[in-house]
DNA sequence: TCGGAAATGTTTTTT
DNA sequence: ACATTTCCGA
């Protein structure tokens, strides 16, 4: 057990204390993951069966990494048998196994937020509410909050405080919407994210034999990020732990940043009251950051009133000062960050993957994408529009969902006329009416289409559609999931339609669908779990992918490995990087405009800033812009109050003096301020170009990162003709070899140089500049 | 029924 | 600025 010797005193104590309730208050960078993995390895080595350990983490990726580390320590494969994953993914597997207790099909669909809002929107319409007043997002949040607090539709309608609040908000109808929404999801055989927690709780409360089974099974439990659990999660954990009470929770009140999802720090304080002899260990030595960064972080968090006292310290070097840099506009902010990265790479031999750019909202990523692309720096954005939210993927997934669960009306409606089969809204409404009158599901109404009174071409189209689905349902029993999914795509016309689209965007969509098919193959053909919850069917696959975060998707191919990472601060939680840029430090952005008038909200923003700062190991930049584009117009922004809270002796500040010009940003060329919108105008150009010239190819795919000409102006599509030499901003130079269609539908076939090859482009969208031949 | 044009809303944060 | 939704003519 040599691995235990590597730990400090507190860490060791946390690992060796295995029986009874344990709470670990783990400061940022204090080796929390190391303690958790070592503790599990120690349990396994002491002879505890892996099947008896439940470990709930924040992301699936964190769980996978921990399994890997445990495997390395123990040099065996036992870690594979741990019950380890996010609350949602572990509970979804249990619910799948126990589905019949609650009257759900085993292959129940899991709705993501978009699916759920779509269902809810139809209910708001059906009840005749004004959609401006009853905005889907607002109603959805009310329902979500209720579920996270274990308040069902009946209790919601009876709760005086809730009813008073809805009445005051002029939306007394939410209780009725909640009721119908829950009923509709149940009819659809579907659960949304919150249902997974709520139904898990109901399962354990309503079926004592099920509760007893899992209480007995999970002899040891570990809960990571405990400060971010909500009431539903708290009660589930408490129920499961009630027999053995071998429950270890790990958290840090200073990093509680999910109250909008119902998370409550109260769970940390309540924990100490729930068990008789709670052992508390504080991990206070930080191994991650420089003294400067850690001191600044401590300074920031001390502005908060609500916190558990602790003294986070480090033995690490003092390090460099934190650089604070203000730019004229959001575009200039993007440029300055890209310049800092280039400079650091040259001077200190950092690689792209050493840098992270962290922002408050996803919408802020744009200016950084642009500037990084301009300087040929490879990057990857985490979050935002995830892979599984893309239209082509959602469409394909909807087909597969219907295959395993025809009761899922939402998915049936999504694909019934996709590709277009001549089944329009009028037809759908008639079928819905028939289904309601006869109290049957939408799908069952489709199966009885003759009785609905629909004739002719539409009738045939519907018959063909249901036949298609039923044919592939039976195929699922004899062929593997990949073949069925692939053939369904071909037969339905979905794949041929995607394949026919030879535009750049169309090709990307087709590639995405190929990626989806490959992931089905990989999932169903890789048996990496044992036990009763292990299930490699298509139904199981569909349930798991909805619960995947962008961070969970592995960075597979080499080209995407050495990249600058862009993400929200929320998404960066639990991660660390040598060099960190925390950007957009402006009032109304960070802290967010929504949080300015409430102490608790503002303190959560400050904790968020604390999380951002403590991601950095070596170097930290804080940037802000004086002006920023918002809905297309430039607006003025005051520096964030958080900038003022930074201790002056630890920072190197470079703010703009006069309104439109002034000091240069730290360590970058003064000419940055030459162009108003940061579009790398003529005046600002030279210094960066020199750097590019020296450092041109840094693991960059030259084919897709053409540097556009300085004077690039797209030519009007009507003037583009065969034989011309043209330039594309991304693909570089090429020759037009064919032109077809006209006006809005004009397409051109272009053969590009430098290995990019032949592309069919829709001229209305592709911006091309004629270089020669006009 | 369907496609393009016009109007409208969008920005917290995530499972 | 951009994406989504609604409107309108064929």
Average pLDDT estimate for A149-161: 96
CB A402 within 8 A of CB A394: no
Q: Is the CB of A130 under 7 A from strand C?
A: no
Give φ, ψ of A762 to 5 degrees.
-85, 115
Strand, helix or coil for residue A578: strand
CB A398 within 8 A of CB A437: no
Interatomic CA distance for residues A689 and A735, integer angstroms: 27
Average pLDDT estimate for A70-76: 92
- What is the model's pLDDT at position A712? 53
CB A513 within 8 A of CB A495: yes
pLDDT > 90 in chain A, percent: 64
- What is the model's pLDDT at position A694? 22
Q: Is the CB of A633 under 7 A from strand B?
A: no
Provide, in whole angstroms, the distance separating residue A722's CA from nucleotide B14's C1'.
49
The token duo for A90 is: 């572990």
Q: A477 to each of A274, A474, A525, how far by Cα in Å?
A: 49, 6, 15
pLDDT digits (tens, 9 = 90+) for A456-511: 888 999 999 999 999 999 999 999 999 999 999 999 999 998 888 887 778 888 88
Does A660 score more than 80 pLDDT?
Answer: no
Provide, in whole angstroms, the distance separating residue A744's CA from nucleotide C10's C1'.
17
A633 membership: H or E segment, kind and range:
strand A633-636
Interatomic CA distance for residues A309 and A727, integer angstroms: 61
Q: Is the CB of A459 under 7 A from strand C?
A: no
Within window 552-571 on A, which residues have Cβ closer than 7 Å to strand B?
567-568, 570-571
Average pLDDT estimate for A649-671: 57
pLDDT digits (tens, 9 = 90+) for A263-289: 988 899 899 999 989 999 999 999 999
A 10 A CB-CB count for A342 gives: 21
pLDDT digits (tens, 9 = 90+) for A204-218: 999 999 999 999 999
Q: Which residue has the higher pLDDT, A610 or A691?
A: A610
Q: Is the CB of A425 under 7 A from strand B?
A: yes
pLDDT digits (tens, 9 = 90+) for A567-597: 999 999 999 999 999 999 999 999 998 898 8
3-state secondary structure A514-528: HHHHHHHHHHHHCCC
Determine the nucleotide nearest to A366 by Cα–C1' distance: C1
Please report where in the chains the tokens 């102490």 appear, as a residue: A599
Q: Among A290, A255, A215, which Cα is nearest to A620's?
A: A290
Within window 736-755 on A, which residues have Cβ closer than 7 Å to strand B?
744-745
Buried/exposed code over A674-712 (b: 16+ C-beta within 10 A; e: otherwise):
bbbebebeeebeeebeebeeeeeeeebeeeebbbeeeee
Determine the nucleotide nearest to A424 by Cα–C1' distance: B1
Sign of CA pseudo-dihedral A567, A573, A579, A581: positive
pTM for the model stands at 0.83
Q: Is the CB of A363 under 7 A from strand B?
A: yes
- What is the model's pLDDT at position A125? 87
- What is the model's pLDDT at position A671? 36
- Which of the nucleotides in strand B have any atom less than 7 Å away from a protein CB atom? 1-5, 9-15
Interatomic CA distance for residues A394 and A205, integer angstroms: 34
Q: Is the CB of A632 under 7 A from strand C?
A: yes
Catalytic positions of A are 32-33, 224-225, 255, 615
pLDDT digits (tens, 9 = 90+) for A76-121: 888 989 999 999 999 999 999 999 999 999 999 999 999 999 999 9
Interatomic CA distance for residues A16 and A20, integer angstroms: 11
Q: Is the CB of A193 under 7 A from strand B?
A: yes
pLDDT > 70 in chain A, percent: 86
Give φ, ψ of A516 to 5 degrees.
-60, -45
- What is the model's pLDDT at position A389? 85
Residues in a beta bridge with A55: A84, A222
Provide, in whole angstroms, the distance separating residue A115's CA from nucleotide B9's C1'.
20
Provide, in whole angstroms, the distance separating residue A314's CA from nucleotide C8's C1'.
67
The token duo for A594 is: 């929504």
Provide, in whole angstroms, the distance separating residue A615's CA from nucleotide B14's C1'.
19
Q: Is the CB of A87 under 7 A from strand B?
A: yes
Strand, helix or coil for residue A424: coil
Provide, in whole angstroms, the distance separating residue A751's CA from nucleotide B14's C1'.
43
Q: Is the CB of A422 under 7 A from strand B?
A: yes
């Amino acid at each position: 057990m040599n691995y235990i010797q590597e730990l400090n005193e507190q860490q060791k104590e946390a690992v060796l204390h295995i029986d009874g309730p344990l709470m670990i208050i783990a400061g940022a960078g204090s080796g929390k993951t190391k303690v958790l993995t070592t503790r599990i390895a120690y349990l396994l080595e002491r002879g505890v069966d892996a099947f008896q350990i439940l470990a709930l983490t924040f992301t699936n990726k964190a769980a996978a990494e921990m399994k890997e580390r445990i495997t390395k320590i123990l040099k065996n494969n036992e870690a594979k048998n741990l019950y380890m994953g996010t609350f949602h993914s572990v509970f979804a597997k249990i619910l799948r196994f126990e589905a019949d207790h609650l009257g759900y099909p085993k292959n129940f669909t899991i709705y993501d937020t978009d699916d759920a809002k779509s269902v809810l929107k139809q209910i708001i319409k059906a009840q005749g509410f004004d959609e401006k007043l009853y905005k889907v997002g607002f109603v959805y949040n009310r329902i979500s909050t209720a579920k996270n607090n274990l308040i069902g539709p009946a209790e919601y309608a009876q709760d005086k405080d809730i009813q008073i609040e809805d009445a005051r908000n002029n939306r007394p109808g939410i209780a009725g919407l909640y009721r119908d929404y829950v009923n509709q999801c149940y009819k659809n055989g579907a659960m949304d994210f919150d249902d997974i927690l709520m139904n898990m709780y109901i399962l354990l409360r309503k079926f004592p034999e099920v509760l007893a089974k899992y209480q007995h099974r999970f002899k040891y439990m570990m809960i990571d990020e405990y400060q971010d659990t909500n009431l539903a999660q708290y009660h589930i954990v408490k129920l499961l732990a009630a027999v053995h009470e071998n429950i270890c929770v790990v958290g840090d009140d200073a990093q509680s940043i999910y109250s909008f999802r119902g998370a409550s720090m109260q769970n940390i304080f309540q924990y100490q009251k729930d068990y008789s002899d709670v052992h508390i260990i504080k991990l206070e030595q930080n191994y991650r950051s420089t003294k400067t960064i850690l001191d600044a972080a401590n300074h920031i968090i001390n502005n908060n009133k609500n916190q558990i006292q602790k003294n986070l310290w480090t033995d690490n070097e003092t390090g460099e000062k934190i650089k604070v840099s203000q730019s004229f506009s959001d575009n200039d902010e993007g440029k300055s960050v890209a310049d800092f990265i280039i400079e650091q790479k040259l001077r200190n031999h950092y690689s792209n993957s050493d840098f992270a750019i962290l922002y408050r909202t996803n919408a802020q990523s744009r200016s950084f994408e642009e500037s990084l692309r301009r300087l040929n720096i490879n990057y990857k954005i985490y979050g935002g529009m995830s892979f599984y939210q893309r239209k082509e993927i959602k469409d394909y997934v909807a087909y597969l969902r219907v295959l395993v669960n025809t009761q899922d009306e939402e998915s049936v409606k999504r694909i019934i006329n996709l590709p277009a089969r001549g089944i329009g809204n009028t037809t759908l409404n008639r079928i819905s009416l028939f289904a309601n009158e006869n109290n049957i599901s939408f799908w069952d109404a489709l199966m009885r289409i003759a009785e609905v009174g629909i004739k002719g071409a539409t009738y045939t189209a519907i018959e063909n559609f249901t036949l298609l689905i039923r044919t592939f349902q039976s195929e699922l029993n004899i062929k593997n999931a990949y073949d069925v999914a692939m053939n369904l795509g071909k037969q339905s016309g979905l794949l041929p339609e995607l394949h026919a689209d030879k535009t750049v965007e169309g090709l990307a969509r087709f590639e995405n669908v190929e990626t989806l098919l490959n992931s089905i193959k990989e999932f169903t053909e890789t048996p990496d779990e044992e036990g009763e919850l292990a299930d490699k069917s298509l139904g199981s696959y569909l349930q798991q992918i909805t619960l995947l975060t962008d961070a969970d998707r592995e960075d597979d191919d080499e080209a995407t490995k050495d990249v600058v990472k862009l993400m929200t601060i929320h998404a960066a939680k639990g991660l660390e990087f040598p060099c960190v840029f925390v950007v957009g430090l402006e009032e109304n952005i960070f802290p967010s405009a929504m949080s300015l008038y409430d102490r608790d909200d503002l303190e959560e923003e400050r904790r968020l800033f604390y999380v951002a700062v403590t991601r950095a190991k070596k170097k930290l930049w804080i940037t802000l812009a004086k002006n920023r584009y918002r809905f297309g117009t430039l607006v003025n922004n005051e520096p964030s109050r958080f900038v003022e809270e930074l201790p002056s002796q630890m920072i190197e500040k470079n703010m703009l003096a006069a309104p439109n010009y002034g000091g240069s940003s730290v360590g970058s060329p003064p000419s940055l301020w030459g162009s108003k919108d940061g579009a790398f105008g003529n005046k600002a150009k030279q210094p960066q170009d020199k750097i590019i010239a020296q450092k041109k190819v840094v693991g960059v795919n030259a084919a897709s990162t053409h540097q556009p000409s300085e004077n690039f102006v797209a030519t009007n599509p009507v003037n583009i003709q065969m034989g011309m030499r043209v330039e594309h901003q991304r693909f570089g130079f090429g020759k037009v070899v064919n032109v077809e269609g006209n006006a809005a539908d004009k397409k051109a076939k272009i053969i590009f140089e430098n290995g990019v090859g032949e592309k069919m482009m829709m001229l209305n969208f592709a911006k091309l500049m004629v270089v020669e031949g006009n």
